[in-house]
Structure 1
């Protein structure tokens, strides 16, 4: 081992124990200012219900809600409609993020949504959300179930809504963007948080490339591009593998197809490990479900891919990184994507980038699971369609996936509501 390699290894060994703490603390977001409420208000009227209606109606004695309506749009697809005591005329349709396919389907809290919902209610917004009818990679079902909420919520309101907003986290942000692009006359604006907004193929191929190259650089981590490991992938497992081959970690992060996000400076190594762990664990959690959705047809392909040097990361010279990447290209397992699987993933979904309403993106700059290149891809498409002026990007310098606080979400929503209401795009 060269003196340079020994120095790199010593530096990493001093930093490696910080990885677990860094990955854990990045789940927390910073505080931001709360949103402000529109001034219009409407008195609510009781809603007539047919006998035998399966929906359950609750009228809380306190809090922001005059009425909460809970029911199902179909087998397993739960919904909740929250109608405020003093309605401001606007509604918010919320789409939740990824949940493991094996987890129970239901109206669970996630990504601080309950806190955001309560704050929106206090500001006079009606809020509707769906569990979807399935978990896992539910972009198609999520879009269908979220769009169905319009008719359900309208039946509970005293008048047609003056404004309708979409909001979503992670996979739910893709749902929100999909609806915004397909139904621009039915919605007025969208808030996309930590969103898979570059599209399904961009995300699934990134995860597949990370999994394939991990087989080369970190063979102790079980699993493969199409094979979920037979044991959970853990942070200590990934950190130990990275410690054993830190040069491989830098090489993977420097590969054009696997640009692992990282925070600069002293946090580089811990956040690189966090990004490697996030990609591998998300792949493990989702690959079986994606295979099921594509009827077992291969949903990832690198048969014709040449892994090459992208932006060099770390202290290793670019020439040495290029040589390591060339070696990994020769050794990486190869699979061919099935055309039918590519077609399914493309349709569910690929954004057009034609933004015909204000769209606000709030996305951590160093998101380890859904990297910021998703926002870059959406911006590029919006630029190509001439609608980039309808996209407002906010990029907190955080390193957690959906580590966006309720206050940051509300601040992003306030910017969106102001933009829709005034027609003036906020500066940032």
Structure 2
């Protein structure tokens, strides 16, 4: 199985610009804790009153603003406030300039926090795209705005959802003391998290691109200029998300019922699901990530070269694995690009406060095996004793259920206040009590433990 930086179908100019084979190894640079005061060098303006989403309007007041770095934010303070703040780091990330609508959508999704008595604050982040450290800074800046202009909470719980879980974990590593020597965060809640760092969490999307191209050969088409698939798209490509969706449907007919697909289309879908280990309904979303977000990373975060590769990966699960592995395009991750992405997105596992996680075992977006990798990271970083992981039967990613999150917050705060470390069994027992007021939705699996990440995503050579 030959591995090379640029295939025969890759244009020389692109090979020179983005696919040079570098053999030197690069080690990730550890995150160094910094004082929270270093985030904001200027005085932040006070937020102003703004209407709450209509479902929260009867029980809360809302404030909004734009911070000195350009991020918009929204704060909700319930009338019956329990004194605690949930500081939210959102998922995604979206591409493009920040918009206040993002924070409104986040508050609407996480309204359960306010209904349960918690103050809530969420930032849009100053920019779109995959930049974890900047998003962590924006999250910490919002905490300071809340403390300076709204109230001083009893406890601050840092909550990260999906990609935002990596932002929250990074913030907990970066900001361990305030200017007066206190901890900025008392606990961390990570939900449906992408928790293996950028250098490993997205390997399967590289695999999806090369397997898809082998089967479909339309992204790019044979009539279009070739480029290395691990850059997502060339900088000047004009392909839109709608056009990408049309190409995928052209090959796989994902927009049609199963009965209306051809046997060949269904065979290709089955190959992708069996080899890449994703469900058919998530193929479009992951293809978009592996296209537009990969381009964002390469063009704006890693200096024009790709941190993604599949050299040495052996794909299993197809009707003919030998033929598939001989056919897929191969790429080596650029060591310098890997170093840059690792510095920004990879975690050290050095978090000084309690961390509680939850993940649906059938999450179609952030695989449950990512949590196994995160557990190892926390143990390597000396924080394994401050981590409790929980899992549920849910098949969803963006939101599990109303009673799930207040149950976890209650357990986390008891850990913070009384030193009583929760157990998955205890959390599973407590959840039905919350259902009485918040509705059904408890589905904890206290005996579940995820398999290692490499049982789902093929191992590969790494610089």
C-alpha separation in 1, matches of 2:164 and 2:269: 30
SS of equivalent residue, structure 2 residue 345: coil
Distance 2:315 2:291 in 1: 25
Provide the rounded CA distance (Å) in 2 between the counterparts of 1:365 and 1:64: 34
Q: How big is the shift at 1:123?
A: 4.3
Map of 1:44 onto structure 2: none
| 2:77–2:120 Cα contact (<8 Å) kept | yes
Aligned to 2:199: 201
Are 2:147 and 1:154 equivalent residues in the alignment?
yes
Instruction: Kindly state the Cα deviation for residue 96 of structure 1 after the two structures are TM-superposed.
Output: 1.0
Note the C-alpha offset of 1:135: 1.7
State the alpha-carbon separation in 2 of the partners of residues 112 and 161 from structure 1: 21
User: How much is the aligned-residue C-alpha RMSD, in angstroms?
Assistant: 3.2
Q: Distance in 2 between matches of 1:161 and 1:300?
A: 42
Mapping for residues 261-410 of structure 1, pairs under 5 Å: 261=278, 272-291=279-298, 292-302=300-310, 304-309=311-316, 321=318, 324-385=320-381, 387-410=383-406
Unaligned runs of 5+ in 2: 1-43, 177-182, 222-228, 234-238, 255-260, 425-463
Q: Provide the C-alpha distance between the structure 2 equivalents of 1:191 and 1:306, rounded to a whole number of angstroms.
A: 33
Counterpart mapping for 1:15-34 below 5 A: none
Please report the TM-score for the alignment, with normalisation by the length of structure 1: 0.71
Structure 1 residues 227 and 146: CA distance shift in structure 2, 3 A: closer
CA distance in 2, matches of 1:110, 1:203: 28
Q: How many residues align?
A: 349
Greater relative contact order, per chain length (Cα 8 Å cut-off, separation 6+): 1
Contact residue 72 and residue 79 of structure 1 kept, 8 A: yes
Partner of 1:402, secondary structure, is coil
The equivalent residue for 1:179 is 171
Q: Is the 8 A contact 2:93 2:163 kept in 1?
A: no
- Match among 68, 71, 82 for residue 76 of structure 2: 82
**Paired residues of 1:307 and 1:326 also in contact (CA < 8 A):** no
CA separation of 1:137 and 1:244: change in aligned 2, threshold 3 A: same
2-side partners of 1:382 and 1:54: how far apart?
37
CA distance, structure 2, for counterparts of residue 297 and residue 113 of structure 1: 36
State the alpha-carbon separation in 2 of the partners of residues 353 and 88 from structure 1: 30
Which residue, out of 113, 124, 129, partners 1:131? 124
> 2 CA distance for matches of 1:326 and 1:110?
49
- Equivalent position SS for 1:128: strand
Looking at structure 2, the residues matched to 141 and 332 of structure 1 have their Cα atoms a distance apart, in angstroms, of 35
* Structure 1 residue aligned with 2:412: 416
**Deviates most, 81-90 or 347-356:** 81-90
> How far off its partner does 1:278 sit?
3.3
